[in-house]
């Protein structure tokens, strides 16, 4: 836990330490802004969502348990959840804007993954999936793609996509939990 | 792939993974979000998946964010009292179907053993009422009259600083809600809206505001 400065700051936030909250914003907002921009794809909305993210972080800090995961992982989970909620709540929720962007940056993401042990295991486990299915999982995680988006992108019926993805996820779990 | 159907446990786990990935439709997602809140086992599956996907987080590039701290802090932290502008909040509340609000403050000194009463959110006929109290860094919201929202809906509690966007303090699906929070100052508004099970999916009220009260009057 001492090697997780973000976790430490979140715990201080839980103790109502506002200086820690500012430090947390300083140290993590660029990453969370990156997550929001990638998923909601509009700067004004991303900035609005970023305010909401840190509001939630402050209010929920007491629920964070460093024994259950790293601080940054917790922050990114809150951020992705909000971003995806907003995406799904859009009237044009099936829009396929930004698909190209997701495809372009996915390989770059993976080359960087290899640098870290944890991330390497992830990459190895992705390798056990058919490339197209691994690509679908990544596109959903990083780009916020829905089943509808994925089915269109891979040109398969919605139910086929769902079956594919569910099986792939369970396979991924088996590999990662080994 | 059309092999055997998943076992119930695998189906739950797949739902947790789909929720974390975010591939579900809005309706499915709302249902899973509600399940996270009421089913600890499912919530644990979701947390496991968040950790499993950790290795992908490097795929998000950093992007410099403007300093939004002043706006965030204005939403979160009571400022030393200055005269609040009412227009912002009441513009937000207006138009909503809302019953009357009753403001009560100043009882604190009369009831020392009980947490200080901050406000009462009640309909005009008092058939639905929530008491908001503050004690030891916590806000305690208790339903003192009426019943929770109908199945598939939930009462959500909001706090609105003057001129700022509402923030959710949580769901009023049980008789009592306890939130770590400083005492809201005068001029701030507490409100209750009706939201889909699991709460507003977008972080601001989506349903009708049924109760609202401004924290007011001198202690």
pLDDT-based confidence at residue B107 (cuts at 50, 70, 90):
very low
CATH code of the domain in which A22 resides = 1.10.1740.10
CATH code of the domain in which A129 resides = 1.10.10.10
Residue A102 forms part of a structural domain: no
- Nearest CA distance, B197 vs chain A (angstrom): 14
Do A72 and A121 share a structural domain? Answer: no
Residue A133 forms part of a structural domain: yes
- Nearest CA distance, A52 vs chain B (angstrom): 7
Question: How many structural domains comprise chain A?
Answer: 2
Q: What is the pLDDT of residues A91-124, one digit of tens each?
A: 765 544 444 444 444 444 444 444 456 678 888 8
Give the pTM. Answer: 0.68
Q: What is the pLDDT of residues B21-62, one digit of tens each?
A: 999 998 899 899 889 988 999 999 999 999 999 989 999 999
Q: Which of B39, B34, B23 is nearest to B196 (CA)?
A: B34
Q: For residues B155 and B173, is the Cβ–Cβ distance under 8 A?
A: yes
- The highest-confidence range among A105-109, B81-85, B188-192, by mean pLDDT, is B188-192
Do A86 and A6 share a structural domain? Answer: yes
Chain A touched by B51 (CB under 8 Å): yes
B181 chain-A contacts, CB cut-off 8 A: 59
Residue A160 forms part of a structural domain: yes
Residue A97 forms part of a structural domain: no
- Nearest CA distance, B46 vs chain A (angstrom): 10
Residue in the structure block whose two tokens are 């969370």: A32
DSSP-derived secondary structure for B134-178: EETTEEEEEEEES-PPPTTEEEEEEEE-TTS--EEEEE--SSEEE
Interface test mutation site (partner B, options A13, A169, A177, max chain B beta carbons within 10 A)? A169
Which residue range(s) make up the domain with A114?
108-177
Alpha carbon of B180 to those of A61, A164, A169, A171: distances in Å?
Answer: 9, 42, 36, 40
3-state secondary structure of B195: strand
Two tokens, residue A56: 């939630």
Do A71 and A119 share a structural domain? Answer: no
Residue A98 forms part of a structural domain: no
Interface test mutation site (partner A, options B203, B205, B207, max chain A beta carbons within 10 A)? B203
CATH (one of 2.30.30, 3.40.50, 2.60.40, 2.40.160) for B116-215: 2.60.40
Residue A30 forms part of a structural domain: yes
């Amino acid at each position: 836990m001492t090697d997780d400065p973000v976790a430490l700051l979140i715990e201080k936030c839980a103790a109502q330490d506002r200086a820690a909250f500012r430090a947390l914003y300083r140290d993590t907002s660029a990453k969370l802004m990156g997550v929001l921009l990638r998923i909601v794809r509009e700067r004004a909305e991303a900035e609005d969502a970023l305010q909401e993210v840190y509001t939630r972080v402050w209010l929920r800090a007491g629920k964070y348990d460093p024994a259950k995961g790293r601080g940054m992982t917790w922050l990114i989970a809150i951020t992705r959840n909000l971003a995806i909620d907003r995406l799904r709540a859009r009237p044009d929720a099936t829009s396929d804007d930004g698909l190209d962007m997701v495809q372009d940056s996915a390989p770059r993401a993976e080359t960087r993954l290899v640098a870290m042990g944890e991330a390497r295991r992830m990459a190895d486990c992705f390798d056990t999936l058919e490339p197209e299915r691994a690509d679908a999982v990544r596109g959903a995680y990083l780009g916020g793609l829905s089943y509808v988006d994925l089915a269109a992108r891979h040109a398969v019926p919605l139910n086929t996509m769902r079956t594919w993805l569910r099986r792939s996820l369970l396979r991924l779990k088996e590999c990662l939990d080994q | 792939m059309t092999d055997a159907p998943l076992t119930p446990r695998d189906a739950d786990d797949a739902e947790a993974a789909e929720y974390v990935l975010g591939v579900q439709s809005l309706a499915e997602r709302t249902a899973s979000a509600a399940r996270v809140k009421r089913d600890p086992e499912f919530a644990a599956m979701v947390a496991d998946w968040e950790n499993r996907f950790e290795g992908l987080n490097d795929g998000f590039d950093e992007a410099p964010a403007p300093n939004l701290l002043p706006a965030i802090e204005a939403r979160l932290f009571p400022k030393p009292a200055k005269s609040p502008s009412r227009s912002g909040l009441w513009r937000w509340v207006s138009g909503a179907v809302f019953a009357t609000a009753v403001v009560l403050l100043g009882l604190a000194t009369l009831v020392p053993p009980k947490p200080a009463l901050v406000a009462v959110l009640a309909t005009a006929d008092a058939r639905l009422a929530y008491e908001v109290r503050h004690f030891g860094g916590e806000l305690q919201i208790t339903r003192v009259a009426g019943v929770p929202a109908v199945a598939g809906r939930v009462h959500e509690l909001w706090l609105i600083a003057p001129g700022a966007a509402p923030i959710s303090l949580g769901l009023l699906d049980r008789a009592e809600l306890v939130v770590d929070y400083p005492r809201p100052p005068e001029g701030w508004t507490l409100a209750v809206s009706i939201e889909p099970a699991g709460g507003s999916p977008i972080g601001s009220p989506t349903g009708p505001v049924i109760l609202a009260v401004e924290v007011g009057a001198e202690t």
